[in-house]
Amino acid sequence: MKTKQTDLADSLMERGYRMTPQRELMLSLLGGSDKHLSADKLLMGVRKVYPRVNKSVVYRNLELLTELGLVSCVDFGNGRVEYEVHRHPHHHHLVCRNCRHTIMINSDTFAELQKQLSDHYHFIADMDHLALFGLCHACQTKAQAQQGHHPHPL
């Protein structure tokens, strides 16, 4: 059975990059996790096997893998940036700015916007793994209930 990591490794090699133990492990950690991983968590994981791996390697490899489209990077705001193997293409995240809850949505919702940007501005938007901020339903309700009780606004 051909594993996902092997697929990823092949994609690297085909484009003239080298497969190193560090990269192999990074891909395996990312591929083995169905959720997002922060650069730091990934570094911790890599260091369990190769304790001397430097953070610059993790950052450089994440950048490369993102460029190659093997990994995608979601910026959740507040300095929270996470990476995932690019396996569920074209989904986006709605991030509540209050409770940080995130909703995953597919990209159909964005198709019309993308068309308009292309028609009106000749701009091809990267519509992948966008994170939009706002207020989720629960926090809207909370905000209404507490209206006027904040010394500092939300």
Binding positions for DNA, 37-96, rule CB under 7 A: 38-40, 50, 52-57, 59-61, 63-64, 79, 81
Contacts of 16 by beta carbon, 8 Å cutoff, 6+ apart: none
Residue 2 as a binder of DNA (CB under 7 A): the answer is: no
Q: Give ∠ CA 66-69-73 in degrees, rounded to 5.
A: 40
Nearer to DNA, 57 or 117 (CB): 57
In angstroms, how far is the first alpha carbon of the chain from the final one? 52
Residue 110 as a binder of a copy of itself (CB under 8 A): the answer is: yes
Q: Give ∠ CA 96-100-106 in degrees, rounded to 5.
A: 60
Residue 23 as a binder of DNA (CB under 7 A): the answer is: yes
Pairs from 143-152 (Cβ < 8 Å, separation ≥ 24): 143/98
Binding positions for a copy of itself, 69-88, rule CB under 8 A: 75
Residue 21 as a binder of DNA (CB under 7 A): the answer is: yes
Binding site for DNA (CB under 7 A): 13, 16-23, 38-40, 50, 52-57, 59-61, 63-64, 79, 81, 151
